[in-house]
Structure 1
Amino acid sequence: MIRVLVVDDDFMVAKVHSGYVARTPGFEVVGVAHNGAEAVRLVRELRPDLVLLDVYLPDMDGLTVLRELRGLRDDVDVIVITAATDVETVRSAMRGGVLHYLIKPFEYAALRDQLAHFAALRRRLDQLASAGQADVDQVFGARPRSTPVLPKGLTAQTAALVERVLRERPVTASECADATELARVSARRYLEHFVSTGKAEVRLKYGGTGRPERLYVWLG
């Protein structure tokens, strides 16, 4: 389980965000803080893996909290969640090494996607003995400067079609084939291509009888 500390001065907002985290498989809320000093203390005591950090706090702003967290011996990953939209705050958060910046208000899906992306990156890094450039690019969100070369037999137009379906919802190869009117084997080739490039991951879908199906989930 990935352990999360929620930091927000609004008790109801903190409760909502905690509920979002609890709804996301593989994540659990280990603490809630309503001011900056409490946030720093709980990070020291609970040692969470991830902090959801508001900027507007009653005793110190979230960016000050972020700087204090970066000074701790045990680093923690941070996603900023705030109503602050000024560019300087965004720039300061980026310089502080946050993973993402979510602007309030937002729906559950927005946070769920970021949590899933965070979990996927952790798994990827945990499985590596050393990181190649493609691994580093994925972690830091780099984009290739030229159009990526598709494997032989795959076309950009069909890849875009499969990507559009996959972005809408997790699908099996059969479900993707139905939605795109491709042969199942063709749909699966495109889905596996997205997995190999780190844009999607495979989870097991258990049904009634027989072996579980491969369920493809878009990561972006």
Structure 2
Amino acid sequence: MGRILLIDDDQAFTEFLAGYIHGAYPLLRVDICNSPVTALNSIRAGGYDLLLIDLEMPAMDGLKLLSFATQAGMDKNRVVILSGRDADFLHDLCPMGTCLAVLNKFEARQKTVLDMIFSSLSKKTAGR
């Protein structure tokens, strides 16, 4: 199975997104961390094909988690930063090459990009 770590302090959002992924992409497994501090141990343990990280969380923001993950050996091109902020703001904050993608988690157009990422990971998982 393809493994995804979803880190977001919004429990309703994480449950919704994990449920969606489970239903639409059965070859993908989603682990949820609603605390960025707790997520550090999961990141350190490794084994994830994709990290989905909320930008703004209490105690530690998504950019600090991205930095920690890359220092722990995670490829930055396997990290997606999610936020409720405007896409232009996100692209200014995280220029191309910072990570795989920065997406507004509430815009329908951005969901299409997430679906492309999940679909690609699912196909790679099926080919293993």
Output the TM-score relative to the length of structure 1. Answer: 0.48
CA 1:63–1:92 in structure 2 vs 1: closer, same or farther (change >3 Å)? same
| Relative contact order higher in (CA < 8 Å, ≥ 6 apart) | 2
- State the secondary structure of the residue aligned to 1:56: coil
Give the conservation status (yes or no) of the 8 Å contact 2:36–2:60.
yes
- 8 Å Cα contact 2:105/2:111 also seen in 1: no
Does structure 1 conserve the Cα–Cα contact (< 8 Å) formed by 2:51 and 2:80?
yes
> Contact 2:91–2:102 (CA<8 Å) still a contact in 1?
yes
The secondary structure found in structure 2 opposite 1:20 is helix
Larger Rg: 1
- Counterpart of 1:112 in structure 2: which amino acid? D
**Matched letter for residue 48 of structure 1:** Y
- Asked if the contact 1:34–1:57 (Cα under 8 Å) also holds between the matched residues in 2, the reply is no
The reply on whether 1:60 has 2:63 as its aligned counterpart is no
Per the alignment, residue 91 of structure 2 pairs with 90
Mapping 1:96-175, distance limit 5 Å: 97-106=98-107, 110=112, 111-119=114-122, 122=124
Aligned residues: 122
Aligned partners of 2:67 and 2:61: how far apart in 1?
A: 10
Give deviations 1:56-81, integer Å, cap 9, x for gaps: 11111101111111111x31411122
Amino acid of the structure 1 residue aligned with 2:65: V
Aligned counterparts of 1:105 and 1:79: Cα–Cα separation in 2: 14
Cα shift readout 1:137-169 (whole Å, capped 9, x = no counterpart): xxxxxxxxxxxxxxxxxxxxxxxxxxxxxxxxx
Q: 1:212 is matched with which residue?
A: none
CA RMSD in angstroms, aligned pairs only: 2.8
CA separation of 1:91/1:71 partners in 2, compared to 1, >3 Å: closer, same or farther?
Answer: farther
Instruction: Give the TM-score of the pair, scaled to structure 2.
Output: 0.77
Q: Distance in 2 between matches of 1:34 and 1:5?
A: 11
**Counterpart in the other structure of 1:81:** 82
Q: Give SS of 1:6's match.
A: strand
Equivalent pairs: percent with the same residue?
Answer: 23
Match of 2:48 in 1: 48
Q: Distance in 2 between matches of 1:35 and 1:94?
A: 26
* Alpha-carbon shift at residue 87 of structure 1 (Å): 4.1
Could you list the runs of 4 or more consecutive aligned residues of structure 1 that deviate by over 4 angstroms after TM superposition? 106-109
